[in-house]
Chain A
Amino acid sequence: MVDIATIAFYFGVIAYSVAATLFFLELARKDGAAPRAQWAPRLLALGGALHAIHVVTASLLSHVCPIDSLHFALSFSALIAVGAYLALRARLRLSALGAFIAPIALTFLVGAQFVGQGGEASVGVSRTLLMFHIAANVLGIGLFLIAGAAGSVYLLQERRLRTKKRVAAMGSRLPPLDALDTTTHRLLLAGFPLLTFGVVTGAVFSHQLVNPGGAEALRSLLGYATWVLLATVLVLRKTAGFRGRKAAYGTIVGVLCMLLVLLLYVVRANAGAT
């Protein structure tokens, strides 16, 4: 079992790395030919499968539920992002997003190794509620990661069309603006209830903690900021036609806030805090 987890991890890292390289090379090509990175999504899918095997076998070995540990939760959210990307890719011509998703998945898979693997249950906090809190956050992070990637590619495509540079050279390798905008919006819509649940339960936990400390307060603050930013993007889109470039910027900033929250979790876990 140990061998399977280790082999799946290393081969997963290799598959993600090669996929990320191929996606990047596809974007960097200057010959203007039609998209031809057929191997990159396949390798990403293979990486995702190995990633899943690693998460399952490693969590069985550690006797830890994947969503009850920050280590596996981080890894799991990237896996969800990979799965959602692969599901959306062909239907919405979103192949180029792989250039963002593959490195993110690689970072999360490798980065999770440096985070403590034990259960993260905090003193005075309902374990069941904590599991729902982490599950919602894991799913939400996965969806927001793709939303952030879609927003980033939107800005690239928009810049290309607006500056009229590399129009012929890029060909049709980047997804259509409307598809990117719609994807970003739908993922935000899908992830927002999960984020709301995560923020609310996080606030409850924060209130229940015996000694929350400054980092905990900052984490809560950033969590609220993420919620407010993404809520603003959604509300303004509905009321004031806030879409396209502005929505992409709003989404990216929101996702960055979310990543900061995650970073604080990682710092706390590595510092041995409860």
Chain B
Amino acid sequence: MIVVVGLSHRTAPIAVREKLVLDSAGLPDFLRALVQRPEVGEALLVSTCNRVELVAAGRSGFDSDLGQVAKACLEALDVHSPGIASHLYAHVGGTAVRHLFRVAASLDSMVLGEPQILGQVKEAYEVARKAGTVGSVLHRTLPRAIRAAKRVRTETAIGSGQVSVPSVAVDLTRDIFGDLSGHTALLVGSGEMAEAVARLLKAGGASVVVVGRTLSRAEDLANAVGGSARPWTALQQSLVEADVVVTSTSAPHYVVEYDMVNTARKARRGKNQFFIDLAVPRDVDPRIETLDGEFLYNIDDLSKVVSDTLSTRTREAASAEAIVGREAEGYDRWADAEQATPTIVQLRTRLTSSLEEELSRSLRGRLKHLPSEDRAALSKMVESAVNRLLHQPTIRLRQAALERASDSLSLEQLSAAIGELFAFDAEAEAVSVTENALPDADGDADDSGLSLAPKARVVASRS
């Protein structure tokens, strides 16, 4: 199992988040230093504008003391950026797995369903892999988190549409014109949102023309968005050339009037034209919508599309949570079954080595006349015998790990009995399940846990 320790937009304002910056060049060293600690065996760091989270596992794989791992991670972050402890949280065990899956699926993002987070999680995994700080636990956990996120994206509409006015405006432009290269966008007036639309149109391949009442300001804006500037008197001619018109002036009256558009339309020979009116009061006469081939969206229209998209995403979040829940349950079952692995491995090793020892002795004595083919056949037979002998115990141990039923022997009891019977001695302690060492199911850390950061929130679950 794993721990997730860090802070996000939910627990820390930007003033705090910006303190916890780990530059990409220094990140591998930070991770290597972390796994040098006796408690931490594996670690990676997910770092975005809205979150910095360490995902870590202990040295003993699935049997590690996760409380100690979380404590070490909290300490490492606090040492790196003093003063952030009260904003840190720690998720442990199953809760950490669910949290990681939710993060990768963008269910914990500031903008629900945003697509970047999955790439950022993949990148974090890759950086840690290259730094050599990923081991068997994270190698098995991260692919499952990524798979859960991909399922969420393909099976739900959580990533549908756009959730910002400029992006919606550009999407609508593409619905009319398709590829934007070869098209001209006219920006009338200035404004942050209009500039953002112009930048997106430019990035899409459109050429941008800026018309302003003050030419110098239009030139500044044109330089900023990579376009060209024209004086106000060129507005009518620019309307003829423009396929997309973005308006954002502070004029108290219509700047683009019906007659202007109608005249331009004739010169454009019926080609479609899209008006994006971001101004309040409006810049474009709404009557132009009655003209063939003229499309007009004002700020209310665009905001409604954004709102509809957000509603869809929120509605889809329930389905996404269900997928994440199922994937996390699958992970839990797999991790539970994994707890039986050390006992099974010890048992197999013991049986195989004993039988091979006996066989070897016989092959040196009474059976030394046997040709190499027969010797190989005997070795094969020993291997088959071990497999047959261990078939039922393996199934039983894995079932015990999964079921935890009160009326049957627990994995701990079975492991202890096997250890006792086969005299695993020192190994018996290692194979015992570490549940006692973990925070309890109510989410309280044990005494040894997190005294370093008394205000840090710890959320734990059954490991």
Q: Which residues of B contact A244 (CB under 8 A)?
A: 270, 272, 292-293
Taking a contact as CB atoms under 8 Å apart, the answer to whether B175 and A32 are in contact is no
Q: Which residues of B contact A241 (CB under 8 A)?
A: 266, 268-271
Q: Which residues of A contact B305 (CB under 8 A)?
A: 164, 167-168
Taking a contact as CB atoms under 8 Å apart, the answer to whether B292 and A246 are in contact is yes
Taking a contact as CB atoms under 8 Å apart, the answer to whether B175 and A174 are in contact is yes
Query: Which B176-203 residues have C-beta < 8 A from chain A?
Result: 176-178
Taking a contact as CB atoms under 8 Å apart, the answer to whether B269 and A33 are in contact is no
A243 touches which of B159, B160, B271, B301 (Cβ 8 Å): B271
Query: Which A25-80 residues have C-beta < 8 A from chain B?
Result: 31-34, 36
A168 touches which of B178, B268, B295, B309 (Cβ 8 Å): B309
B272 touches which of A32, A172, A177 (Cβ 8 Å): A177
Q: Which residues of A contact B160 (CB under 8 A)?
A: 31-34, 168, 171
Residue B286 interfacial (CB < 8 Å): no
Whether A176 contacts B157 in the complex (CB less than 8 A), given A241-B271, A243-B270, A244-B272, comes out as: no
Interface residue count for A (Cβ, 8 Å)?
30
Taking a contact as CB atoms under 8 Å apart, the answer to whether A179 and B178 are in contact is yes
A31 touches which of B177, B295, B304, B312 (Cβ 8 Å): B312
Q: Which residues of B contact A240 (CB under 8 A)?
A: 269-270
Q: Which residues of B contact A177 (CB under 8 A)?
A: 175-177, 272
Taking a contact as CB atoms under 8 Å apart, the answer to whether B175 and A161 are in contact is yes
Taking a contact as CB atoms under 8 Å apart, the answer to whether B309 and A172 are in contact is no
Question: In whole Å, how far is B115's beta carbon from the nearest beta carbon of chain A?
Answer: 11
Whether A178 contacts B177 in the complex (CB less than 8 A), given A33-B157, A36-B154, A167-B308, comes out as: yes
A172 touches which of B174, B297, B316 (Cβ 8 Å): B174
Determine the distance from Cα of A36 to Cα of B272 in the docked complex, in whole angstroms: 28
Taking a contact as CB atoms under 8 Å apart, the answer to whether B174 and A176 are in contact is yes
Residue A245 interfacial (CB < 8 Å): yes
Whether A172 contacts B301 in the complex (CB less than 8 A), given A31-B157, A33-B159, comes out as: no
Taking a contact as CB atoms under 8 Å apart, the answer to whether B178 and A172 are in contact is no
A162 touches which of B159, B270, B289 (Cβ 8 Å): B289
Whether A161 contacts B269 in the complex (CB less than 8 A), given A168-B312, A171-B161, comes out as: no
Residue A93 interfacial (CB < 8 Å): yes
Determine the distance from Cα of A244 to Cα of B295 in the docked complex, in whole angstroms: 12
Count class of interface residues, chain B: 20 to 34
As a 0/1 sequence over residues 148 to 192 of chain A, the CB contacts with chain B under 8 angstroms (1 = contact) are 000000000100011010011101101111110100000000000
Q: Which of B268, B289, B292, B304 is packed against the most chain A CB atoms within 10 Å?
A: B292
User: Which chain A residue shows the least CB distance to B295?
Assistant: A161
B161 touches which of A32, A93, A176 (Cβ 8 Å): A32
Taking a contact as CB atoms under 8 Å apart, the answer to whether B178 and A176 are in contact is yes
Query: Which B203-256 residues have C-beta < 8 A from chain A?
Result: none
Determine the distance from Cα of A241 to Cα of B268 in the docked complex, in whole angstroms: 8
Question: In whole Å, how far is B208's beta carbon from the nearest beta carbon of chain A?
Answer: 19
Determine the distance from Cα of A172 to Cα of B162 in the docked complex, in whole angstroms: 11
Residue A11 interfacial (CB < 8 Å): no
Question: In whole Å, how far is B383's beta carbon from the nearest beta carbon of chain A?
Answer: 46
Q: Which residues of A contact B304 (CB under 8 A)?
A: 164
Query: Which A172-217 residues have C-beta < 8 A from chain B?
Result: 172, 174-179, 181
Taking a contact as CB atoms under 8 Å apart, the answer to whether B270 and A242 are in contact is yes
Q: Which residues of A contact B176 (CB under 8 A)?
A: 161, 176-178
Query: Which B19-65 residues have C-beta < 8 A from chain A?
Result: none
Q: Which residues of B contact A167 (CB under 8 A)?
A: 172, 305, 308
User: Which chain A residue shows the least CB distance to B266?
Assistant: A241
As a 0/1 sequence over residues 99 to 135 of chain A, the CB contacts with chain B under 8 angstroms (1 = contact) are 0000000000000000000000000000000000000
Q: Which residues of A contact B171 (CB under 8 A)?
A: 172
Q: Which residues of A contact B308 (CB under 8 A)?
A: 32, 167-169
Whether A178 contacts B272 in the complex (CB less than 8 A), given A162-B289, A168-B305, comes out as: yes
User: Which chain A residue shows the least CB distance to B154?
Assistant: A36
Taking a contact as CB atoms under 8 Å apart, the answer to whether B172 and A161 are in contact is yes
Determine the distance from Cα of A181 to Cα of B271 in the docked complex, in whole angstroms: 10
As a 0/1 sequence over residues 255 to 292 of chain B, the CB contacts with chain A under 8 angstroms (1 = contact) are 00000000000101111100000000000000001001
Determine the distance from Cα of A177 to Cα of B175 in the docked complex, in whole angstroms: 7
User: Which chain B residue shows the least CB distance to A168?
Assistant: B308
Q: Which residues of B contact A33 (CB under 8 A)?
A: 156-157, 159-160
Q: Which residues of A contact B272 (CB under 8 A)?
A: 177-178, 181, 244
Q: Which residues of B contact A171 (CB under 8 A)?
A: 160-161
27 contacts between A and B (CB under 8 A): A31-B156, A31-B160, A31-B316, A32-B157, A32-B160, A32-B308, A33-B159, A33-B160, A34-B160, A161-B175, A162-B295, A164-B297, A167-B308, A168-B160, A168-B161, A171-B161, A172-B174, A174-B175, A177-B175, A177-B272, A178-B178, A181-B272, A240-B270, A241-B271, A242-B270, A243-B293, A244-B272
Name B residues whose Cβ lies closer than 8 Å to a Cβ of A. 154, 156-157, 159-161, 171-172, 174-178, 266, 268-272, 289, 292-293, 295, 297, 301, 304-305, 308-309, 312, 316
Given contacts A169-B308, A243-B271, 15 further A-B contacts (CB under 8 A): A31-B156, A31-B312, A34-B160, A93-B178, A161-B175, A167-B308, A168-B308, A168-B312, A169-B312, A171-B161, A172-B175, A176-B178, A177-B176, A245-B292, A246-B292
